[in-house]
Amino acid sequence: MLPMNEWLKYVDITELNDKICSFRELDFKKLTYRDIQKEISNVISFNTPRGNYTLLAPTNSSYPVNTRFYRVRNINEGDTTLPLESMSTVADCWEPPKKVVKPGRLNRQHEPLLYTSPIFPDAAVEELKIVDDKLFSLIVYEAVKPIKVTCIAFPPLIEGLTKDDALKLEMIQDFLKHEFIRDVDNGDEYLYRISESITKDYFDLRHISQDAWCYPSIAKQGGYNVSFRPNKKQKLKLVGVQIASIKRDDNGHRFEVKAIAKDSGDGLNLSYHEMGSPEQEDLFPEISPTKI
């Protein structure tokens, strides 16, 4: 393949803009995965002396050992007696069973992935649209090995490029970012075919020992999400679960933790413990009965 700066010589800005505009006029509801993959490729591929192709340089990064990752699960109405029916086993803390998985931003139907938010739980809360004072399960993991991530929808590396070539690459990346992070309402899940296709076709880098994908939070400005490859969750350990609610104010999110849960020791079931218990102080010494 051509070097990036050589390939960009064959990217015509006017043609690229026209192709982006045409893509956004498509009726995605009627398109299959294969159709969408073809349309995305058409936008970002250009004719060169070596053939018609695209050239991207995804950014890779990593999270160190002991980084915490958060996942939120709703608690069903009426599920108020501890242990909660919706959070009673260790399996409840991980990705859902294959049979109930619906299409998501990076996954197809029946393809379970573990979606998390790193470092700060706020993004996980916002992603699930948790309302104030409603109880939810905040699941806490910790990295036991470095987590290698491929970054999607991040600014491109333009060092060494001319101003025109940098603009071309930025237009391509902006197109991919816009299509990847677009907000998807209930009933419009077919739009996930776009982000899933972008992920699998252009950011699936198994050859670099990729553990997960990292991308900007759609719901929380400045936040990030990390979605783990199916066979990489062993790089995480389950710390425990906080049964909590939130209140939003000018200072951000105030978490109120009611109880905590942990692996009971058999690897199957969760045991629940009150705030102030030795188990809570051991697992989550940073929290109190009113906030974390």
pLDDT at position 178: 96
Mean of all residue pLDDT scores within the chain: 93
pLDDT at position 288: 65
pLDDT at position 77: 87
pTM metric for this prediction: 0.93
pLDDT at position 289: 56
pLDDT value at 290 more than 80: no
- Return d(Cα 141, Cα 285) in angstroms, integer: 15
CA distance readout (Å), 243 to 75, 137, 169, 224, 264: 9, 5, 45, 22, 16
